[in-house]
Amino acid sequence: MKGVVIRSKAQWIEDGQKPSKYFCNLELNNFMNKTIQRVETGNGNILTDQKEILKQVRHFYGSLYNDRELELDNYDLNELLTNFNYTILDDTQSNSLEGLISEEELLIVLNKMKSNKSPGSSGFPADFYNHLWG
Protein backbone atom coordinates (compact mmCIF):
# COMPACT_ATOMS: atom_id res chain seq x y z
CA MET A 1 0.00 0.00 0.00
CA LYS A 2 3.02 2.31 0.37
CA GLY A 3 3.12 2.51 -3.43
CA VAL A 4 -0.44 3.85 -3.45
CA VAL A 5 0.55 6.67 -1.13
CA ILE A 6 3.67 7.51 -3.14
CA ARG A 7 1.87 7.39 -6.48
CA SER A 8 -0.92 9.54 -5.05
CA LYS A 9 1.78 12.20 -4.57
CA ALA A 10 0.35 13.14 -1.17
CA GLN A 11 3.20 15.19 0.28
CA TRP A 12 1.55 15.83 3.61
CA ILE A 13 1.03 12.25 4.80
CA GLU A 14 2.37 11.63 8.30
CA ASP A 15 4.37 8.58 9.31
CA GLY A 16 2.16 5.83 10.59
CA GLN A 17 -1.01 7.03 8.90
CA LYS A 18 -2.75 4.15 7.18
CA PRO A 19 -3.57 4.33 3.46
CA SER A 20 -7.25 4.84 2.90
CA LYS A 21 -9.80 4.98 0.13
CA TYR A 22 -8.86 8.66 -0.13
CA PHE A 23 -5.29 7.84 -1.21
CA CYS A 24 -6.51 5.21 -3.65
CA ASN A 25 -8.80 7.82 -5.19
CA LEU A 26 -5.91 10.31 -5.37
CA GLU A 27 -3.83 7.72 -7.21
CA LEU A 28 -6.69 6.99 -9.62
CA ASN A 29 -7.19 10.71 -10.21
CA ASN A 30 -3.46 11.18 -10.92
CA PHE A 31 -3.58 8.25 -13.36
CA MET A 32 -6.62 9.67 -15.14
CA ASN A 33 -4.89 13.04 -15.49
CA LYS A 34 -1.98 11.31 -17.25
CA THR A 35 -4.09 9.49 -19.83
CA ILE A 36 -5.68 10.82 -22.98
CA GLN A 37 -9.44 10.70 -22.43
CA ARG A 38 -10.55 11.69 -25.93
CA VAL A 39 -9.05 12.42 -29.33
CA GLU A 40 -10.46 14.17 -32.36
CA THR A 41 -9.48 12.56 -35.65
CA GLY A 42 -8.64 14.43 -38.84
CA ASN A 43 -12.20 14.03 -40.09
CA GLY A 44 -13.76 15.36 -36.87
CA ASN A 45 -14.72 12.08 -35.16
CA ILE A 46 -14.23 11.96 -31.39
CA LEU A 47 -12.64 8.78 -30.01
CA THR A 48 -13.02 7.77 -26.35
CA ASP A 49 -12.10 4.07 -26.46
CA GLN A 50 -8.50 3.66 -25.22
CA LYS A 51 -7.60 1.12 -27.92
CA GLU A 52 -8.93 3.41 -30.65
CA ILE A 53 -7.14 6.41 -29.14
CA LEU A 54 -3.86 4.48 -29.05
CA LYS A 55 -4.35 3.40 -32.67
CA GLN A 56 -5.05 7.00 -33.74
CA VAL A 57 -2.02 8.36 -31.84
CA ARG A 58 0.24 5.72 -33.41
CA HIS A 59 -1.10 6.60 -36.86
CA PHE A 60 -0.68 10.34 -36.29
CA TYR A 61 2.91 10.16 -35.03
CA GLY A 62 3.80 7.40 -37.47
CA SER A 63 2.87 9.63 -40.38
CA LEU A 64 4.33 12.73 -38.74
CA TYR A 65 7.75 11.16 -38.24
CA ASN A 66 7.98 8.92 -41.27
CA ASP A 67 11.07 8.72 -43.48
CA ARG A 68 9.92 11.28 -46.01
CA GLU A 69 12.54 13.69 -47.30
CA LEU A 70 12.80 17.00 -45.51
CA GLU A 71 11.18 19.81 -47.41
CA LEU A 72 13.95 22.41 -47.14
CA ASP A 73 13.86 23.54 -50.76
CA ASN A 74 12.42 26.93 -49.84
CA TYR A 75 14.73 27.47 -46.88
CA ASP A 76 18.34 28.51 -46.74
CA LEU A 77 19.83 26.77 -43.70
CA ASN A 78 22.42 29.51 -43.22
CA GLU A 79 19.65 32.10 -43.14
CA LEU A 80 17.79 30.10 -40.49
CA LEU A 81 20.90 29.79 -38.32
CA THR A 82 22.05 33.41 -38.67
CA ASN A 83 19.99 34.70 -35.74
CA PHE A 84 20.31 31.51 -33.71
CA ASN A 85 22.69 31.96 -30.78
CA TYR A 86 24.60 28.71 -30.24
CA THR A 87 27.95 27.60 -28.88
CA ILE A 88 30.14 25.16 -30.75
CA LEU A 89 31.55 22.46 -28.50
CA ASP A 90 35.26 21.79 -28.54
CA ASP A 91 36.52 18.22 -29.05
CA THR A 92 36.82 17.52 -25.31
CA GLN A 93 33.24 18.63 -24.61
CA SER A 94 31.94 16.75 -27.61
CA ASN A 95 33.74 13.54 -26.65
CA SER A 96 32.48 13.73 -23.06
CA LEU A 97 28.90 13.62 -24.37
CA GLU A 98 29.50 10.54 -26.51
CA GLY A 99 29.17 6.97 -25.33
CA LEU A 100 27.24 5.18 -22.65
CA ILE A 101 26.13 6.66 -19.35
CA SER A 102 28.50 5.48 -16.63
CA GLU A 103 27.45 3.80 -13.40
CA GLU A 104 29.03 6.72 -11.54
CA GLU A 105 26.81 9.21 -13.38
CA LEU A 106 23.72 7.13 -12.58
CA LEU A 107 24.64 6.94 -8.88
CA ILE A 108 25.14 10.71 -8.71
CA VAL A 109 21.66 11.32 -10.13
CA LEU A 110 20.08 8.61 -7.97
CA ASN A 111 21.60 10.07 -4.80
CA LYS A 112 20.18 13.51 -5.65
CA MET A 113 16.62 12.16 -5.93
CA LYS A 114 14.24 12.85 -3.04
CA SER A 115 13.10 9.94 -0.90
CA ASN A 116 9.49 8.76 -1.31
CA LYS A 117 9.09 10.70 -4.57
CA SER A 118 8.32 9.13 -7.91
CA PRO A 119 9.93 11.41 -10.50
CA GLY A 120 8.52 9.71 -13.58
CA SER A 121 5.27 8.28 -14.79
CA SER A 122 6.21 4.75 -13.66
CA GLY A 123 5.32 5.53 -10.06
CA PHE A 124 8.56 4.00 -8.77
CA PRO A 125 10.23 6.16 -6.10
CA ALA A 126 13.97 6.72 -5.74
CA ASP A 127 13.91 4.33 -2.75
CA PHE A 128 12.96 1.49 -5.09
CA TYR A 129 16.04 2.03 -7.25
CA ASN A 130 18.29 2.56 -4.22
CA HIS A 131 17.08 -0.71 -2.72
CA LEU A 132 17.73 -2.66 -5.92
CA TRP A 133 21.10 -1.05 -6.54
CA GLY A 134 22.36 -0.90 -2.96
Band (pLDDT 50/70/90 cuts) for residue 48 is very high
Rg (CA), the chain: 23
Q: How far is CA 116 from CA 66, 95, 121, 127, in A?
A: 40, 35, 14, 6
Provide the domain count of the chain: 3
- Same domain? For 27 and 6 the reply is yes
Q: What is the pLDDT of residues 106-130, one digit of tens each?
A: 889 888 888 887 777 777 888 888 8
Which of 60-69's residues contact partners 24+ apart within 8 Å by CB, and which partners? none
Q: Are residues 25 and 45 in the same domain?
A: no
Report if residue 90 sits inside a domain: no
pLDDT (tens digit per residue) in 56-66: 999 888 888 77
The reported pTM is 0.36
What percentage of the chain exceeds 90 in pLDDT?
15
Domain range for residue 59?
37-66
Residues 27 and 42 in one domain: no
Q: Whole-angstrom Cα distance, residue 42 to residue 35?
A: 20
